[in-house]
Each structure stands twice: as C-alpha cells, then as structure tokens.
Chains A and B, each alone.
Chain A
Amino acid sequence: MNSLVDPFICDWQPVHYLFFSENIWGNFIYYSHFFPALAGLVIALFVFFSAKKSKPAQALLFTVVMFAIWSLLDLILWASDNSDIIVFVWSTLIYFEIFVYLGSFYFLYSYFNEKFPNLYYEACFYILFIPLFLFGHTNLNLSGFDFTNCDREALEGPLWQSYIYFAEFSILILIVVTIIIELFRRRMKNSEVLIVSLGIIFFLISFSIGNILGSLETDWEIGQIGLFGMPVFVTILAYTIIKFKAFKIKVLATEVLMTGLMILIISLFFVRTIENSRIIAGITLLLFSALGFLLIKSVRKEVKQREQIEQLAVGLERANDRLQELDKQKSEFVSIASHQLRSPLTAIRGYAAMMRDGSYGQLPETAIIPLDRIHDSAKLMASSIEDFLSVSRIESGQMKYELADFNLREQAEHIVDDLRAEALKAGLVLSYKSNLTSQGFVHADIGKTQQILHNLINNSLKYTLKGTVTVFVHENLTLKKLYVEIIDTGIGMSKETIDTLFAKFTRAKNANSVNIKGTGLGLFVAREMARAMQGDITAHSTGDGQGSHFILELPLVR
C-alpha cells in the first residue's frame, strides 16, 4: 500500500513484520520496548492466574496489557516507513496512554478498597474520553505529518499537546487524593500504603518520562530508558498484591521477583555495548541466579512448614469441635438415662419403705434386713443419679439458680441437727459452732446451699471412723464473706489428693480403705454450684490420718 509520503525520497528502509527495520538505529529501542512489555506481562499474568478474583491483580493485568500494546505501537512508529501507518498508530496511542493511567488508578483504588470504583467514577472517566471519540480522527488529534527533514514524525494537535496532559494530570490528582484518604483512614499500615503508592507513582513517571523528555529535548531516544523501570515497578506492585493480599503465594512472589530482575539483567547484555559492562552483567547474573535459587528454596521450605502447621491447627480445631460435640452428646445421654432411672427408683424406695413400715401387713423378721438393704441401696443409687444429673446440667449450662437472701447460720444449724442422729449411729460427735457478729444472711440459692452443706458434712461423716466433725460458721466483714468450715478428725488427705479432689470422678486415694461407695462427683458438683453463686469451696489437710478441713464461702449480705 503506497503511503501519502514517498519513503524513497528520504531513503527510509522498508519494514518487516511491522516492527523490524533498519530505520531503528542500534538495538536499544527494541530492548526498551520488548523487554519491559514482556517482563511486565509475565509478572502480571503470574499474579493474575494466582489470584484471579483479586481486583488489584485484574487491574494490574489490564494496565500492563495496555502498556504492552502501547509499547508495540510505539515500536511500529520507530520502525515504519509508511506515513499513513505512522499517523494512524500515533493517533491511537492517545487512548492507550490514558488507559495506562486509568488502569493505575483502578489498581490503587481496588488495592485500598477491595472493589473497583463505582458507577459515578466510571461515568466521569467515560466523559474524559468524549473529546477523543469526537475528534480523534481529525486534525485536532494530529495536525499532520512532518516531512520537512525526513524525521518520520507526526505533528501533534491540541488533543496531544494539551488535552492528554489535562486527562493524565486529572487522573494523577485522583491517585494522590486516593493515597491521602487512605493514609488518613489508617486501615492499612502506613508502610504498605507508601510502598504501593510509590510503586504506582514511579510506574507512571517511568512510563511518561520518555514523552516528557522527548517533548522537551526533541530527542525521543533518551527518554526510552525510562521504560526499563516499568517491569521493576510492576514487580513491586505484584509483590505488594502477593505479600499483603494473598499470603499463600509467597513462593510465587519470590519467583516473580527473580524473573523480573533476571529479565532486566539479561537485557543489560544487549543494551551495554562496552565489553567490561557485559562481563560485570554476566557475573551479576551468575551471582543473582545462585542467590535467587537459594532464596526460592528457603522460601519454599518456610511456606511448606507453615502449611503443615496450618493443617495441624485445622486438624486440632476439628478434633476439638468433635470432642465438644461428643461431650455434649454424653451429657444429654446421661441426662436422659438418669431421668429414666430415677422414676423406677422412687417407686422401689417408696414401696420398700411402706413394706418395712407394715403397710402391707406384718412381715417376718428375716424380710426386714433385705428390705432395709433395698431401701439403702436405692437411696444411694438415687443420690448417684442426682449427681449425674447435676453434672449434666452444669456442663450443658442448664443448671438454674434462684438467688435470694437467706440465713445460712440457721440452715447450717438445721442440717447439723438433722445429721446428728446419723453421726451418733456411727459413733461420732457432730457439733456446731458459730462466732458470727452479723445476722449470717447470704445471697445464694437456698436449695443448692443445703445440698452443698449436706454433701460436705456427709462426706466428713463418711470419712471419719472415730472422733468429731465440727461445723463452724464465721464471717469476714471486710471481704463480706460468710464461711462454713467442716472440720473432721478423719482419714485426711495428701497434697496430691487435694489437687485433684474437685475433678470429676476423682476420689481420695485412701477412700477405699474406709469402704465408702461413691461416684466421685459430689465435690465437683458442690464446688461448681458454689462458684456459680459467687462463692467457693476449698479443701485442706495436713496429710493422711490428720483429718480434713473443708471451707464453703458465700457472699455475706448482712
């Protein structure tokens, strides 16, 4: 196709495959256009395929693709001998320059906000392009082709001379405002905001430096060196996405960084023509390759270890959830089973008592003893079931407490009176003491408190073979606490036993020596209930055979 300008007049060389021509002196222009575009694309594609849903990765890919198209079109300008093509390609470049700026803004915005700008922003950007749609094909874009001294250059019109700077400057202002807003919002670390912001600003400076210098110096070749900065800043941006947005691809980040830098070093081989520089570049490349290999290896190892730890943590969490679920199911099972057992036991106890009392006629003497045993065993079993039920309620958080003020001193005295006969039967002395100055009112659940006291005093009676059990009530007015101490002269406990005494299903090691039956739940239930009422139970003993000392404390009201 013949162009409007005859290329033979100026001895312009023919072009092959759009890009290759002797019109380009030296290899510098090829490397300044091919390598940055290629390196940038490799990095952006790497990141994009690692995190396709990441908005910043999408924006980065768009920006780099626009930059790559721009580079190739610019290379056509350098190579072409056809004025028609030069004017056409030069006129289209205006779109891609603004796209690179716009893409950079989208990258930054989506990086900070995890989404793209809204419709209003987009509408403003579309308005920015209206003059290009309307006048892109007129002499307001390019006023013509400069054929005065064989330079193969288009003459730029107002769109190129003024409007593009206005558009790019507007976007740059928007970028700066976005950065400032983000710094004030303090959602991210300042260092992260600064890295990504400087990355994008240097990316744009690197991109535009050629045009600025070209316009000022009319030497378009010097400015092309800025394009080499592009993959470096693309690498920085890619790194920020990977480091701060997608932690799992740290290895990829290192590889991307290494690839970008390696492409840069290799490109030095072709740009530098001095032999010494090539040797230095060669040594640098060797060192860099070795260190890069080690770095990637160590990062890969670190990531693998972390992944293993994460997997273990997930496994543990699942096991923990499963255990909690099983524990809950166990509590439910115990609750249901205990309820089912309690009803027939009540009947057994009731009928045994009635038969014993002669409600069904006089029974022979030989039947009385077995009936007593039936009654006592059923009572023991009912007590055990009550403990199971209490544990089940405590663990499922369904234990209800009706808190009210009541006189604990009186309650303790009544319980001691109730149990005195049982103590006498066992040959023990059960006594009550008090040195209260207050009325002895506490704020607690009266039923639960009675249950606790019964449990503690009964325990002392069971584990004391001879001697006394003393219930001593006193208070601490400063701490506003009321204490009920149960002091016995029983079998006592070692320190190890005391440490585990309040755990579930735990009984004193020497409990079997006194032939006491029990589930090991009584003290656990008692302490849980005391703690739920803002109180506590503690156990003390100086050792085996030295007697025991239990203290129930509850909040004193008056």
Chain B
Amino acid sequence: MKINTSYFLRYIFILSVIFSITLMYYVFVVKKQYTVFTNPEGPVMFTDNEDLEI
C-alpha cells in the first residue's frame, strides 16, 4: 500500500499535539509538578512583590 507522505506527516503531527497536551495535563494537573512562587509569609493581596522568594 502506498503511503501519502503529506497525510502521514499530518497524522503524526496531530498525534504529537494530542500527546503533548495529554502530557501537560498529566504533569500539571495529575502530578501537580510545577513551582508555586510566593512570599515567605504567604501571598499578599494587591502589593508589589519585592520579597519574592524562589
């Protein structure tokens, strides 16, 4: 069977996008692997973040 290169690449591309977004969901929502930046005393509402702690 002859494979149409253009369609094949497009198919792989769409699968990659879906896989990438699924991976994002898994990492950020399921595993919660992201850094939370805040002040030492916790968040301060409506102030400048001078004491930003990383």
Binding site for B on A (CB under 8 A): 1, 3-5, 9-10, 83-85, 87-88, 91-92, 95, 119, 122-123, 126, 129, 132-133, 136-139, 141-150, 155
Contacts and interface: CB of A to CB of B under 8 A. Distances in A.
Given A84-B28, A138-B27, 9 more contacts: A1-B29, A88-B25, A92-B21, A126-B9, A133-B17, A133-B19, A137-B26, A139-B34, A149-B47
B32 interface: yes
A1 B25 CA distance: 14
Contacts of A1: 29
A126 B9 CA distance: 9
A150 B46 CA distance: 8
B23 to A, nearest CB: 5
A84 B9 contact: no
5 contacts: A119-B9, A136-B20, A145-B36, A148-B44, A149-B46
A551 B37 CA distance: 109
Nearest to A99: B17
Give the contact-size bracket for chain B.
20 to 34
Nearest to A143: B35
A147 B37 contact: yes
A144 B34 contact: yes
Given A119-B9, A126-B9, A133-B20, A149 B27 contact: no
B32 A4 contact: yes
Given A119-B6, A129-B16, A148-B43, A95 B21 contact: yes
A133 B39 CA distance: 32
B36 A4 contact: yes
Nearest to B22: A137
Which of B10, B28, B46, B47 neighbours the largest number of chain A CB atoms within 10 Å of its CB? B28
Contacts of A146: 37, 49
Nearest to A142: B34
Contacts of B17: 95, 129, 133
A136 B23 contact: yes
Contact of A148 (B6, B13, B49): B49
Nearest to A123: B9
B43 A9 contact: yes
Which 3 A-B pairs give the minimum distances between C-beta atoms? A144-B35, A148-B49, A147-B38
A150 B45 contact: yes
Contacts of A142: 34
Contacts of A143: 35
B52 interface: yes
Contacts of A10: 43, 45
Contacts of B6: 119, 122
Contacts of A88: 24-25, 28-29
Contacts of B28: 84, 87-88, 91, 137
Given A9-B42, A129-B16, A83 B36 contact: yes
B22 to A, nearest CB: 9
Contacts of B25: 88
Contacts of B34: 4, 87, 139, 142, 144-145
Interface in B1-17: 5-6, 9-10, 13, 16-17
A321 to B, nearest CB: 41
Contacts of B42: 9
A124 to B, nearest CB: 11
A298 to B, nearest CB: 44
Contacts of A138: 27
